């Protein structure tokens, strides 16, 4: 990597590291669901769209993709609000094997909300696949497939944004604190 954007502190996960791990996750998921019918993957917009796109193309089992969009932190990298559904799934999930695909787990509030909401729709099974989890207290349902654990900093790239910027960087990087504290003041 020759030049890194000056807003970024450092690269945490390179494109190669992510791609290898995504392939491993897809292989594990394919093995685990081999005997089941169709796997219904639920990607959480917008952050998980790149992770999901790479993951599904490595799967070797029949699958369907759908999306949900939730309310986000807006432009703030520091405060969290109540979770709300902005866009729901296209179809009922009753009796289906559901795999929730999330970009990142921080406090666990979002994934807990999703678990509770989707469980109420009576799927046959419900598991989660998360690219990165931040270090810290874990007070949510265990993540079934986890890509990486990262330090508790604001990260961007590989689908993750700050104020709709940096989302399409091919790697995952730590955003400089000065970038988001400047906006908050």
Q: Give the one residue of 30, 107, 117, 165 binding ligand 5GP; rule: CB under 6 A.
A: 107
For position 156 contacting ligand 5GP by CB under 6 A, the verdict is yes
For position 68 contacting ligand 5GP by CB under 6 A, the verdict is no
| Cross-strand partners of 66 | 42
Note whether 112 and 96 are within 8 A (CB).
no
For position 154 contacting ligand 5GP by CB under 6 A, the verdict is yes
Q: How far is the CB of 22 from ligand 5GP (least distance, A)?
A: 17
DSSP per-residue letters across 67-81: EEEE---TT-SS---
For position 161 contacting ligand 5GP by CB under 6 A, the verdict is yes
Of 175, 169, 174, nearest to 157 (Cα)?
169
CB atoms within 10 A of CB 45: 16
Catalytic residue among 88, 106, 137, 144: 106
Give yes or no for a cis peptide into 173 (omega within 30° of 0): no
For position 155 contacting ligand 5GP by CB under 6 A, the verdict is yes
Of 33, 34, 14, nearest to 22 (Cα)?
14
Which parts of 76-95 interact with ligand 5GP (CB under 6 A)?
80
The reply to whether 106 belongs to the active site is yes
Which parts of 48-67 interact with ligand 5GP (CB under 6 A)?
none
Q: Give the one residue of 51, 98, 103, 131 binding ligand 5GP; rule: CB under 6 A.
A: 103
Q: Give the one residue of 51, 72, 114, 147 binding ligand 5GP; rule: CB under 6 A.
A: 72
For position 109 contacting ligand 5GP by CB under 6 A, the verdict is yes
Rg of the Cα atoms in the chain = 16
Question: Which is nearer to ligand 5GP, 2 or 139 (by Cβ)?
Answer: 139
163 vs 21: CA distance, rounded Å: 27
102 vs 133: CA distance, rounded Å: 10
Active site residues: 106
**Binding residues for ligand 5GP (CB under 6 A):** 47, 72-73, 80, 102-110, 154-156, 160-162
């Amino acid at each position: 990597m020759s030049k890194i954007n000056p807003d970024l502190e450092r690269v945490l996960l390179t494109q190669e590291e992510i791609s290898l791990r995504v392939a491993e996750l897809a292989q594990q998921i394919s093995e685990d669901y081999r005997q089941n019918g169709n796997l219904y993957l639920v990607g959480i917009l917008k952050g998980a769209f790149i992770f999901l796109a790479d993951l599904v193309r490595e799967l070797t089992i029949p699958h369907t993709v759908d999306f949900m969009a939730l309310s986000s932190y807006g432009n703030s990298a520091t405060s969290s609000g109540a979770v709300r559904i902005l866009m729901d799934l296209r179809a009922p999930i009753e009796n289906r094997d559901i795999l929730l695909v999330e970009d990142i787990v921080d406090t666990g509030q979002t994934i807990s909300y999703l678990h509770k909401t989707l469980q109420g729709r009576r799927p046959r099974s419900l598991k989660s696949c998360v690219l990165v989890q931040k270090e810290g207290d874990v007070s949510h349902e265990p993540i079934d497939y986890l890509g990486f654990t990262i330090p508790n900093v604001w990260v961007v790239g590989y689908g993750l944004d700050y104020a709709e910027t940096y989302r399409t960087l091919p790697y995952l990087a730590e955003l400089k604190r000065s970038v988001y504290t400047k906006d908050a003041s």
